[in-house]
Amino acid sequence: MAGPDAPARRAGRLALPILLLASAVSLAGGAAAQASADSATPGNAVASAIRQQVGGKLKDFYRARGYWPLWIVGESPGPQARALVDVIETVDVDGLDPDRYSPDRLRRLIDDADGGNLRALAYLEVALSGALAELVRDMREPRVEIRHLEESLEPTRPKPDAVLRRAALAKSTLEYVRNLGWMSPLYVQLREALRDAVPERGNAAIAVPPGALLKPGASGERVILLRERLGLPPSDLYDEALVERVKRFQAQRGLPADGVAGAKTLAALNHAQAKPPVDRRELLQLNLERARLLPDAWTRHIVVDAAAARLWYYDNGAVQGTMRVVAGTPETQTPMMAGMVRYATLNPYWNVPVDLVRKRIAPKVLAGVPLERQGYEALSDWTANAQVIPASTIDWRGVEAGSVEPRVRELPGKGNSMGSVKFMFPNDLGIYLHDTPQKSLFAKADRHFSNGCVRLEDASRLGQWLFNQPLKPDSSAPEQHVPVPDPVPVYLMYFTASPDGGSVKYVADVYNRDRPALQHLASR
């Protein structure tokens, strides 16, 4: 349903504002202010100095907090000051230029402020806040496209005071900076993986002939070729180094990472001769750009990863839960889009797609199984005011032939394809999250079986989180709509590389989106 990622229009880049306001006081006034500061407590003295220094877009933030510092502890730069500069010096991994945020200058200002001079401390305070505001605004700027179903979800460049207020609310400014608290945890973990990633090694032109299973302890000519293919030193031994390299290759291709080179692994290795694989660093960079679209973990929201068929939900700065899901098939893909979960429907109907009515239902009716016994009913049309009609009024042979397309819906019940509940975020594609009676599908490694909607492993747990209480129908009546007290954003994403515990999980590009997306990014 959704095409590959496309480049988003980038907002114009503004030069890094200095955001410093020099004090325009007379020499006598300056002396008086210094005398007043000397008589105050250290904290108040720093706040007084900040008040004299700050201006422009940062003044509202500091005024609201009595000019209390964010970066100064006592009368010295806090550890969060150096932590911010440490982050700035690594932002090339985010596709940003570290020099834009003047890390060398900021380190000099930290050194100057170490002596406790109030003016130097205030100058440093304002400079660091200005740098953070610009860094966050740049790092959050999207570079790939997703369909936003509501205007409120459209990305905008946050105002400096909003950036700083978010940082000030963190329990620890130091940890907020170190952990890039303004970004999604998915982004942060992919960023770590990208920083640690090394370029791909090996010779993709090498083909390993098919044959017996290659596993630890094996030797011979095919092992020599396998080692060369994966960039290991010449040897005919299937040693631990080769096991680890095979595992890494398997993980990158979405294969079971058992370190054994069987038929599927060799086929994937040899297929690279005709279709070179996406480099691991490129794959991480692409998925990092996808993760850039997500809000931080302080924003209450849901993330669905259609590639790995997983779901996370976030609030209060951390992931609150995760579960497996079933996503769309390659022919009926789950699209990339963001909406607001606004209500739940209990005891839902399921409007059966016309192709399934033709393939699954019509043959049974023609074989003598009444529509009602199959758990369905027919309706007069596709409007909200449609009436239930007798199944006998429908030309079922025409349905089977494809010339008649009636509206058929499945009745609520234990066997209903929607299960007991569906969570709705209004969209014109008919995509939503829902329960399912087919629990066995969640045990499968590849969970791409739906018509585009997202089937939930544990719908009741997600409902508990959304509503802060168990979600139960008032009666057996169908289609009971219950509004979510505070609508929650849901992001339908596509991560072929995503965090998995302390590592990164690579899955197959089942929707064939990666290469076109990489081409779009390269053309920006």
Residues 62-103 pLDDT 10s: 999 999 999 999 999 999 999 999 999 999 999 999 999 999
Per-residue confidence (pLDDT) for residue 8, from 0 to 100: 38
Per-residue confidence (pLDDT) for residue 523, from 0 to 100: 83
Q: Is the pLDDT at 167 greater than 50, yes or no?
A: yes
Q: Which range (117-121, 276-280, 291-295) has the least confidence?
A: 276-280
Instruction: Tell me the whole-structure pTM to 2 decimals.
Output: 0.79
Classify 473 as helix, strand or coil. coil
Per-residue confidence (pLDDT) for residue 37, from 0 to 100: 35
Supply the mean pLDDT for the chain.
Answer: 88
Task: Determine the average pLDDT of the residues in 47-70.
Answer: 94
**Residue 2: alpha-carbon gap to chain centroid:** 17
Q: How far apart are CA 421 and CA 40, in angstroms?
A: 62
Contact by Cβ (8 Å): 418, 298: no
Residue 422 banded pLDDT, cuts 50, 70, 90: very high
Task: Determine the average pLDDT of the residues in 14-19.
Answer: 33
Classify 240 as helix, strand or coil. helix
Residue with tokens 């590639």: 307
Classify 467 as helix, strand or coil. helix
Contact by Cβ (8 Å): 382, 331: no
Q: How far apart are CA 195 and CA 159, in angstroms?
A: 29
Share of the chain above pLDDT 70, in %: 89
Per-residue confidence (pLDDT) for residue 28, from 0 to 100: 32
Residues 426-462 pLDDT 10s: 999 999 999 999 999 999 999 999 999 999 999 999 9
Per-residue confidence (pLDDT) for residue 198, from 0 to 100: 61
> Sign of dihedral through CA atoms 246, 251, 252, 253?
positive
Residues 472-505 pLDDT 10s: 999 999 999 999 999 999 999 999 998 887 778 8
Q: How far apart are CA 103 and CA 492, in angstroms?
A: 36
Residues 121-163 pLDDT 10s: 999 999 999 999 999 999 999 999 999 999 999 999 999 999 9
Q: Which domains are delineated in the chain?
A: 27-182 (no CATH), 200-278 (1.10.101.10), 295-349+415-493 (2.40.440.10), 352-410 (no CATH)
Contact by Cβ (8 Å): 458, 471: no
Residues 364-414 pLDDT 10s: 999 999 999 999 999 999 998 999 999 999 999 999 999 999 999 999 988
Do the bridges between strand 350-351 and strand 407-410 make them parallel or antiparallel, or are there none, so unpaired? antiparallel
Residue 261 banded pLDDT, cuts 50, 70, 90: very high
Amino acid identity at 461: R
Do the bridges between strand 407-410 and strand 318-328 make them parallel or antiparallel, or are there none, so unpaired? unpaired
Q: How far apart are CA 150 and CA 338, in angstroms?
A: 8
Strand partners, 491: 303, 338
Residue 11 banded pLDDT, cuts 50, 70, 90: very low
Q: Which positions are annotated as active-site residues? A: 434, 453
Q: Which two tokens stand for residue 419?
A: 């299960």
Q: How far apart are CA 491 and CA 293, in angstroms?
A: 9
Classify 131 as helix, strand or coil. helix
Helix (H) or strand (E) holding 274: none
Q: Closest Cα to residue 428, out of 302, 337, 345, 293? A: 337
What is the DSSP code string of 182-223? Answer: TS-HHHHHHHHHHHH-----S-TT--PPP-SPB-TT-BSHHH
Task: Determine the average pLDDT of the residues in 354-363.
Answer: 93
Do the bridges between strand 503-506 and strand 497-500 make them parallel or antiparallel, or are there none, so unpaired? antiparallel
- Number of C-alpha atoms within 13 angstroms, CB side, residue 308? 25
Residue 35 banded pLDDT, cuts 50, 70, 90: very low
